[in-house]
């Protein structure tokens, strides 16, 4: 594929933004390095760069000036395309996925809390924080400046919460509590298993390897979550805990981020292609509401306190 200068600059900005996200994430989530080192030790990969990142995920607060509409501007600018919409009734969430500007980039899954669907009291708690944002902060950024974007994605969007507000949110919506503290820190990255060497290239085999390495997988919806067509299969670790410091001096271990694993099967029309000619476009793309609904629970106390 040939690229003009503008596109090359754009991709290097995206590369830097993604590298910044992955760096903070792997510092915060000990399972990331543990899994990568184990994959290297058994010879699945030579370096971390050999891992195909299926997708990354962000969580957002659905209030004016923030939420998906704000966050997506960054990635649309780098050539991502907005794709399907997903709705999670009980969790009061909406989500979209975005296809990347090339096969070497991860897809993006961005979700948003439907704040207006929560009780007046809970909305009040959230607005105490988010109302400090008067207009979409992304509009103030120079999106071609990777340093600015990197800083934005890792700076609190609103003041640090009190422990009691955090606890109230946790009772109303585990997702709300996660976002009020973790902001745009990557929620997860996702290891593609289907292109790994034989013996590891199915989700059963990979999960078996993880469990033998002492990695704890989320049991929400079963260890392997499978789409109706059987072609998108996903597992996730239980989110690691981080020591959170609250504005009133309180400290508490709360859910941080997790790691996901995905197996995308070849679509029926391409079943007969020789294995070495299979590309991303030949495999099941996108996401699945039933799978996602359970993957969200990787940060819920029912999993993290299990």
- Choose the contact partner of 296 out of Ni ion, ligand OOG, none; CB within 5 to 8 A by kind: ligand OOG
Least spacing, CB of residue 291 vs ligand OOG, in Å: 5
Q: Which tokens go with 145?
A: 């400046």
Measuring CA to CA, how many Å separate 198 from each of 103, 134, 233?
22, 52, 17
- Which residue, 252 or 265, has its beta carbon nearer to Ni ion? 265
Stretch of 77-85, 264-272, 273-281, 291-299 contacting ligand OOG, by CB under 6 A: 291-299
Q: Report the distance separating Cα 132 and Cα 176, nearest Å.
A: 17
Stretch of 157-165, 195-203, 214-222, 285-293 contacting ligand OOG, by CB under 6 A: 285-293
- Which residue, 57 or 191, has its beta carbon nearer to Ni ion? 57
Q: Which of 75, 80, 105, 109 binds ligand OOG (CB under 6 A)?
A: 109
Burial class (CB in 10 A: 0-12, 13-18, 19+), 248: exposed
Q: Please give the residues from 246 up to 275 whose contact with Ni ion meets the rule CB under 5 A.
A: 260
User: What's phi and psi for 36, nearest 5 deg?
Assistant: -60, -45
Our finding on whether 288 is near Ni ion (CB under 5 A) is: no
Asked whether the beta carbons of 87 and 94 are under 8 A apart, the reply is yes
Task: Reduce the DSSP state of residue 5 to 3 states and report it.
Answer: helix
Helical H segments across 60-202, by residue range: 67-77, 120-130, 146-153, 163-172, 174-182
Our finding on whether 292 is near ligand OOG (CB under 6 A) is: yes
Q: Which of 59, 92, 233, 283 binds ligand OOG (CB under 6 A)?
A: 59
- Which residue, 169 or 295, has its beta carbon nearer to ligand OOG? 295
- Choose the contact partner of 130 out of ligand OOG, Ni ion, none; CB within 5 to 8 A by kind: none
Asked whether the beta carbons of 145 and 79 are under 8 A apart, the reply is no
Our finding on whether 291 is near ligand OOG (CB under 6 A) is: yes
**The Cα angle at residue 222 between residues 298 and 30, in degrees rounded to 5:** 35
Q: Please give the residues from 47 up to 76 whose contact with Ni ion meets the rule CB under 5 A.
A: 57
Q: Which tokens go with 49?
A: 């760069």
Our finding on whether 293 is near Ni ion (CB under 5 A) is: no
* Nearest residue relative to Ni ion (C-beta): 260
Our finding on whether 98 is near ligand OOG (CB under 6 A) is: no
Least spacing, CB of residue 2 vs ligand OOG, in Å: 32
Our finding on whether 187 is near ligand OOG (CB under 6 A) is: yes
DSSP per residue, 7-40: HHHHHHHHHHHHHHHHHHHHHH-HHHHHHHHHHH
DSSP code of 144?
T
Q: Please give the residues from 243 up to 272 whose contact with ligand OOG meets the rule CB under 6 A.
A: 260
Q: Report the distance separating Cα 93 and Cα 111, nearest Å.
A: 7
Our finding on whether 57 is near ligand OOG (CB under 6 A) is: yes
- Choose the contact partner of 291 out of Ni ion, ligand OOG, none; CB within 5 to 8 A by kind: ligand OOG
Q: Which residues bind ligand OOG (CB under 6 A)?
A: 57, 59, 109, 111, 187, 234, 260, 287, 291-292, 295-296
Interface residues toward Ni ion, by CB under 5 A: 57, 260
């Amino acid at each position: 594929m040939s690229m003009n200068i503008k596109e090359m600059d754009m991709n290097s900005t995206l590369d830097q933004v993604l590298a910044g996200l992955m760096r903070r994430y792997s510092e915060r989530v000990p399972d990331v390095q543990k899994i990568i080192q184990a994959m290297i030790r058994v010879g699945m990969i030579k370096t971390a760069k050999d891992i195909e990142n299926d997708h990354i995920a962000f969580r957002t607060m659905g209030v004016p000036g923030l939420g998906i509409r704000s966050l997506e501007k960054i990635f649309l600018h780098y050539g991502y395309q907005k794709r399907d919409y997903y709705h999670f009734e009980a969790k009061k969430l909406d989500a979209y996925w975005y296809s990347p500007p090339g096969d070497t980039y991860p897809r993006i899954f961005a979700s948003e809390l439907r704040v207006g669907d929560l009780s007046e009291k809970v909305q009040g708690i959230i607005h105490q924080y988010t109302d400090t944002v008067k207009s979409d902060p992304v509009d103030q950024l120079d999106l071609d400046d990777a340093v600015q974007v990197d800083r934005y994605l890792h700076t609190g969007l609103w003041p640090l919460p009190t422990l009691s507000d955090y606890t109230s949110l946790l009772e109303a919506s585990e997702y709300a509590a996660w976002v009020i503290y973790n902001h745009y820190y990557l929620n997860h990255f996702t290891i593609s298993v289907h292109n790994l060497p034989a013996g590891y290239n199915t989700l059963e085999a990979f999960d078996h390897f993880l469990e033998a390495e002492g990695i704890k997988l989320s049991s929400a919806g079963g260890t392997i979550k499978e789409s109706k067509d059987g072609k998108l299969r996903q597992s996730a670790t239980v989110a690691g805990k981080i020591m959170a410091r609250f504005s009133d001096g309180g400290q508490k271990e709360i859910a941080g981020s997790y790691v996901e694993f995905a197996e995308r099967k070849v679509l029926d029309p391409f079943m007969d292609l020789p294995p070495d000619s299979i590309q991303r476009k030949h495999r099941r793309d996108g996401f699945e509401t039933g799978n996602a609904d359970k993957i969200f629970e990787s940060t819920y106390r029912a999993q993290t306190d299990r």
